[in-house]
Amino acid sequence: MEDHAQGLLLSSDFCEALNYAVQMHLRQFRKGTPIPYVSHLLAVASLVLEYGGTEEEAIAALLHDAVEDQGGRQVLDRIRRRFGETVAEIVEGCTDAETIPKPPWRERKEAYIRHIASASQSVCLVCAADKLHNARAILRDYRELGEGLWSRFNGGREGTLWYYRTLLIALRMRYKSAVLDDLEREIHELENLVVISARDGGS
């Protein structure tokens, strides 16, 4: 029989959070694609677990966009009641806007970067996993679409690259983990491709 003594056994709370996340994001898609949004939530939760996260951190990963995308403070209160204070605090720490309409993009991202300077280790892990999956998706799509990709993003090319690089710096000042090394590799590769594209005249 396999020895699970040193492993993390997920409980019914994780299953409930997964179902809750699927229900909330059922009609949402990844920006500019036909990919169900829940694929991102599953990927972020997977990364959190792969980099040594706890069940509560993985649950927060599944729910990390719920407040921003699916109802604001009321959703956060619901998460707190259903999954506890620790999960709610992580989700809140990963949220850069609770209101609709959201504040202007640059203002919102600058405020979030400042927030990371005092964020918990759990928030940093979920944030880093989120950005790692996003960076991998951006890199993959950039290889296929070239400069046309940036029309998906409010910050455009320059703003998006600035945000990922600056957020990585903020995370490194607060948190130490191999997830940040992997995130840096993705960002560096994306930056290099953008330089090459600019040199070659774009696409």
| Cα–Cα distance for residue pair 12/114, rounded to 1 Å | 35
User: Given 56, 65, 68, 89, which residue is catalytic?
Assistant: 68
- Asked if 52 and 126 touch (Cβ cutoff 8 Å), the reply is no
In 10 A of CB 78, how many CB atoms? 18
DSSP assignment of 5-59 equals: TTSPPP-HHHHHHHHHHHHHTTT-B-TTSSSBTHHHHHHHHHHHHHTT--HHHHH
Active site residue 98: no
Active site residue 182: no
User: Given 69, 98, 141, 182, which residue is catalytic?
Assistant: 69
**What are the residue numbers of the active site?**
68-69
